[in-house]
Amino acid sequence: MAAVVIRSIARTLKRPATAASAAYSTGGCTCTSKKLEGKVALITGGASGLGKATAAEFLRHGARVVIADLDAESGIKAAKELGPAAEFVRCDVTVEADVAGAVEMTVAKHGKLDVMYNNAGIVGPISPPSISELDMTEFEKVMRINVIAVVSGIKHAAKVMIPAGSGCILCTSSIAGVLGGFAPHSYTISKFTIPGIVKSAASELCEHGVRINCISPATVATPLTLRYLRKVFPKVTDEKLRETVKGMGELKRAECEEADVAKAALYLASSDGKYVSGHNLIVDGGMTAFKINGFPFPSDS
């Protein structure tokens, strides 16, 4: 999501930020039922941002959650903050053995794996902007984390879920994978790939009772987003950067928050989404649904 702001920032700065109204607040949980009671989830990139928010949402709904992340310090801290039903395992998603190990550890400790959320990802460099100057080494790095690691996560989750005859696999994509031009080329290409992976995997996994879907959020002011924005605007405060992100959406009196993505993941992971598979759930307030044309009115003279 951080990358979505890079190539659309000019338009964003021309528009005033619109504060979300209380009616659209997505924070907290007012639920009376626990939709993931007794379930076990493994979330990659779960130490911060969307992964941590989703872990918190799953925990509120009764799940036990294993956070897999390369950042051990943040992962351990996040697990402690989230409570006794959360735990951390260090995992470099670019190393297949690490992904396999995280799945195996989860199953060994909890006896099963109900939800696998492949959420880890990076933006990659924001320059050079031209495809004609693309650094192929950097491109391959983005693809290893954003694409190959996702396939690895699907592979090892499937090894557990196919014999069980049930399970849910989720992947994080982006609106940058819905329309071109939102983000740097490497990130955009990687995110366009995710829905295709999901559909391909669904064609096999459906016959085993395993569901797989992806989520494509709009830009969210996560730590990752703000870190990349600081590279573009090093003199702008974090508060102003957050306001810039809030002003990017099309749906007035609302903004895309971490909780929106977490609740989308909850829907797909729970029995509420029991007949949804092979789907790309776009959480963008209609941003990719339309384009307002700047109609060039002809001169009558």
Beta bridge partners of 198: none
117 is catalytic: no
In Å, how far from its chain's centre is CA 227?
16
Candidate list 187, 228, 267, 275, residue with the active-site label: 187
Q: Please, are residues 45 and 121 in contact by the beta-carbon 8 Å criterion?
A: yes
Give CA–CA dist 51/118, Å, rounded. Answer: 9
Tell me the torsion sign for CA atoms 91, 95, 98, 102.
positive
Helices (H) and strands (E) in the chain, counts: 10, 7
**Residue found under tokens 């007012």:** 30
How would you class 8 by CB atoms within 10 Å of its CB: exposed for 0-12, middle for 13-18, buried for 19 or more? middle
The Cα 277–Cα 203 span in angstroms is: 9
Q: Does residue 98 contact residue 91 with C-beta atoms inside 8 Å? A: yes
Calculate ∠ Cα 256-4-127, nearest 5°.
Answer: 155
Which parts of the chain are beta strand (E)? Answer: 40-44, 64-69, 86-90, 115-118, 167-172, 210-217, 280-283
Q: Which residues are catalytic?
A: 187
